[in-house]
Amino acid sequence: MLMPTQRGTRNAMTIDVEDYFQVSAFAPYIQRSDWDSRECRVERNVQRILALLAQEGKQATFFTLGWVAERYPQLIRDIVAGGHELASHGYGHQRVSDLSREEFAQDIRRAKQLLEDIGGQSVLGYRAPSFSIGQANLWAFDVLLEEGYRYSSSVYPVKHDHYGMPDAPRFAYPVREGLLEIPPTTLRLAGRNLPSSGGGYFRLLPYALSRWMVGRVNESEQQSAIFYFHPWEIDAGQPRIEGIDAKTRFRHYVNIERMEGRIAQLLRDFDWGRMDEIFLGRRADALAAAQ
């Protein structure tokens, strides 16, 4: 049975702005040096998302690659003009676990500066590619704080073959003085954290189940949910990558043709907003004006 539409709790809608060929699971098949020769589809897909958000009267947070911002500056301005929060996904979609401390600092500094220069607003938030902050690289939080970030959404408290820290807190918590970690939403059942915040899980599971999980977090735990998806997930016409293994193919393409309709329904079924408004209490443009 579907739960009634939840209007008492505002949830955070987030989009990880990267193109289909930049997905971490494709790294063994697509060389980084080949990115510029690939057909880019991120611009048109983000414009579709912006139109959908405008149609439903909702705002969101766009965790955006510096690589994308550098090539599509008008897209960054359009995100900001729509009243959305501009946040960082790093520059080159490199897992934090693959970088040294100095390399990580350079990556997030470069992305932040690019996004702020183009967007004209302070960038306060960061999400690690593939949720790649874990027990082995908690130093990344020190670097984020040093580089001027106010929050991260980089630790997924689930067990997964590519990422995850299942023992981490499920809801927003301070990881350093002045820095919050705001994890993607999970549902606690039978002693396990079940992913319930978007991406491939949202495409795989029946919509009614995903809706029920978000509603339960709102109603039973009185917490805001953090949902995420990628622009390529609404793009059924994207080029198919040749030679990938069956598991990667399934994860990337499953139910991709249904995604846009499901996102539209989700936007209608719950109250959604920006990460900075919900968790920091102030809009990024207000913070920028105060600095």
Lowest mean pLDDT among 71-75, 158-162, 195-199, 233-237: 158-162
For the segment 223-227, the average pLDDT, to the nearest whole number, is 96
Predicted confidence (pLDDT) per residue in 54-96, tens digit: 999 999 999 999 999 999 999 999 999 999 999 999 999 999 9
d(CA 173, CA 30): 36
Could you give the CA distance from residue 152 to residue 171 in angstroms, rounded to a whole number?
Answer: 12
Instruction: Show the domains of the chain with their CATH numbers.
Output: 6-290 (3.20.20.370)
pTM above threshold 0.85: yes
pLDDT band at 283 (very low <50, low <70, confident <90, very high): low
Residue-wise over 226-256: b if at least 16 C-beta within 10 A, else e?
A: bbbbbbbbbbeebeebeebeeeeeebbbeeb
Q: What is the pLDDT of residues 107-134, one digit of tens each?
A: 999 999 999 999 999 999 999 999 999 9
